[in-house]
Chain A
């Protein structure tokens, strides 16, 4: 199975070609240019460099969210356009899962944290058991303090990674009652190779038609939240 993998969920733009246990190419950029300007030129570069026939792909793998709403949509629309033109399905990989999977073999808990603003992070809890990737707690949005409290209850070492680290490292250090580690540069952010490898682990049975793919935002839009809050407030007055 061969996939083109894309991750544009955060500040990093990344794409990779992965076939079974072989990483053919990966291009990862964490620079101030927008994903709209970088992502497709990067895909063009790795496919040209490796003489990749796009028709030989089995699926497009994409970091399906959570993440920056706009970043997720650029990734999703790129994957959907490729899927439409090539008549290939999409394998949507939870962003936080793919980040954790990059730390293959780590001991203790793996806890990616993506800065989700409003003093929250998108996070999830993972571990490797005899080389097998185990999702301990599926990705969700959480206040940082509540997350550290939860990790203290687990009572085992934790490795953090993600763009939430520079924002919350001090706070985590002050609250943690457990040994904490922070991942080094080569595995500290989103990488499309992890998205591709996890998509291959899932297999083609987890693929969806390109037209059906939509990002996992984990949050409603502000307008929807406000409207629902208004309706609930009214509802409680009526009741």
Chain B
């Protein structure tokens, strides 16, 4: 079979992105136009502004991706697009654009699940990685433990009951005055703090020991800050950041190791924005080494929202014969493994 070239488009949140990917593993271009500087003014992503920016940026981003790949639309075998989950207004821009391009260029259309894209970023970063493996998906909107049984076949074995891990980072960052986005800022400040300074809780969900819960941890941090303020005590922000982060990392690593052992899986992967967190990487590496597991995670650029990962996931759908119609719609609460 000759090479399969896919133009992929992603607009599910606040990054407008396009990429050209060959055979699901080789990235010829990966263009990301971030809107973060605009949304910073509001302390988080404003959906209406994100949607407007996508419309303004999208053609330029796609043209740049084709140009960097030194290809034209006619060289493509398919057009792929994220159709969920995400912000509906933002998703709709990418979906409408991708459908129109595929229709006019007479190419097949493949709708891709955003989180399956994040998982597939590992295929790009690790050419030798093949299913089955266990994947911890951690981002601003998602915290899942998923068994990747085969390409495009997923079984969710644990999820968060309340906040996503990345959401907890954002909220704690705001509370200690670090601003948005919280993840990288907490990570940086935590390096100067003592992770054992404050004993924040490690929540356990009673009936589902692999599930996650971060809202109690977040409240505990807020209570600590309020208590210190009322007593007029000086707060060591670096210690708060480090101790909070350690609590999140302990839970994420603990549950992942427990799941891998229970299921007898020796390959562990991570995906999503929080997979860039340095403490999580270090903690997961140490745990995997102790258990003799192999650990995989994408480079930071492939952990953020990007279109290369969408092109990778789309390739495995493409070779299975999956095609979408011109009535493809955005599905803001699309479930993993659902079509």
List chain A positions with a Cβ less than 8 A from chain B: 34, 36-41, 43-44, 54, 69-70, 73-74, 76-86, 210-211, 214-215, 217, 221-224, 227
Contact = CB atoms under 8 A, between A and B. Distances in A.
A73 B99 contact: no
Question: Which bracket fits the contact residues of B?
Answer: 35 or more
A58 to B, nearest CB: 15
Contacts of A82: 100-101, 103-104
A81 B42 contact: no
A221 B46 contact: yes
A222 B94 CA distance: 23
A190 to B, nearest CB: 17
Given A73-B96, A77-B97, A77-B100, A36 B55 contact: no
A231 to B, nearest CB: 10
A78 B48 contact: no
14 contacts: A36-B92, A69-B51, A73-B89, A77-B55, A80-B100, A81-B98, A83-B59, A84-B59, A84-B97, A211-B60, A214-B55, A214-B56, A223-B49, A224-B49
A40 B329 CA distance: 11
Contacts of A34: 329
A80 B95 CA distance: 12
Q: Is the interface of A mostly helix, strand, loop or mixed?
A: helix
B186 interface: no
Contact of B42 (A36, A84, A211, A223): A223
Contact residues of B: prevailing secondary structure: helix
B104 A210 contact: no
Interface of B: 41-42, 46, 48-49, 51-52, 54-56, 58-60, 62-63, 73, 88-89, 92-101, 103-105, 325-330
B59 A211 contact: yes
B329 A78 contact: no
A13 B249 CA distance: 49
Contact of A43 (B54, B62, B103): B103
B55 A37 contact: no
A34 B41 CA distance: 32
Contacts of B105: 85
A211 B56 CA distance: 7
Contacts of B52: 69, 73, 214, 217, 221
A222 B51 CA distance: 13
A211 to B, nearest CB: 4
A59 to B, nearest CB: 13
B327 A84 contact: no
